[in-house]
Structure 1
Amino acid sequence: MTYELRDHTADVAVEATAETPSALFAAVADGLTAASAESVPATGGERFELTVTAESREALLFDYLDRLIYERDVRLVLPADHRCTVAEPDDGNGEDDPAEPGEWRLAASARGVPLGAVAAREIKAVTYSEMALERRGDEWYAYVVFDV
């Protein structure tokens, strides 16, 4: 999986590719981390977990990134070293499934690096502006713009 930061008018964009949707979501989140700080300590900070559900794959990516920004603000940490598992909607027959039928689900974790340990720039929000999330040949592609 790879990501690159792209200049975008007064904002910043992350362009990423990966072999699976799970790896793609993690790559975009890693791009969000890179857009937030030029360097992140390799150690330190506690891992935290989160789950997100949404009605579409694009909404799931948006809600996941929005949640990471929220966690940054509430926990006063920079989420880093992202791990994600994306699950497609099921038919609603799973008795132990907490998601509604037709919902995309994400289970993720990140290492919360204390903001005092990094020179962080504020990313205000994720946007739907120009968002792309699609399969291209044998890999997945995403393009996401963040408001700075």
Structure 2
Amino acid sequence: MSYELRDHTADVAVEATADTLAALFAAVAEGLTAASAQSVPATPGDRFEVEVAAESREALLFDYLDRLIYERDVRLVLPADHRCTVAEPSETDRTDESDDPDAWRLAASARGVPLDAVAAREIKAVTYSEMALERRGDGWRAYVVFDV
């Protein structure tokens, strides 16, 4: 899994590759962390969990990153050290009648580094502008633009 920050007019973009879809989501989230702060201290931070469901892979990635930005603002932490699992739509994944059997699902966790411990720049939002999420050979590639 890897990511690279890319210059983008008035914004910042993350391009990531990984062997699995879950690792790709984690790599893009690590790219979001890197775009937010040049370095992340190893200071302890409490892990927190997030769960997201969406109608497509692209919407799931967008909603996941949007949720990380929300958690940053509410918890006053920089999400780091991301771990993800991604589940495709399936009838067997349904836990109760209110769950959508056609939804993509993500369960993730991140270490919350207190914002006062980092020199962070504000990432305002994730955008659909130029978003790409695709299978390439044996792996996956994503490109995501963030509004700064």
TM-score by length of 1: 0.96
Which residue is equivalent to 1:96?
A: 95
Could you list the per-position Cα deviations for residues 4-40 of structure 1 after superposition, in whole angstroms to 9, with x for gaps in the alignment? 0000000000000000000000000000000000000
Matches within 5 A, 1:107-118: 107-118=107-118
8 Å contact kept, 1:53–1:99: no
Mapped partners of 1:93, 1:49: distance in 2: 23
Shift of 1:94: 4.8
8 Å contact kept, 1:54–1:63: yes
Which residue is equivalent to 2:124?
A: 124
Which residue is equivalent to 1:74?
A: 74
Kindly indicate whether residue 9 of structure 2 is the aligned counterpart of residue 12 of structure 1: no
How many equivalent pairs are there? Answer: 147
8 Å contact kept, 1:50–1:108: yes
Q: 5+ residue gaps in structure 1?
A: none
Runs of 4+ displaced beyond 3 Å: none
User: Relative to structure 1, is the Cα distance of residues 93 and 110 closer, same or farther in structure 2, using a 3 angstrom cutoff?
Assistant: closer
Which residue is equivalent to 2:24?
A: 24
Could you list the per-position Cα deviations for residues 51-99 of structure 1 after superposition, in whole angstroms to 9, with x for gaps in the alignment? 0000000000000000000000000000000000000000x25553673
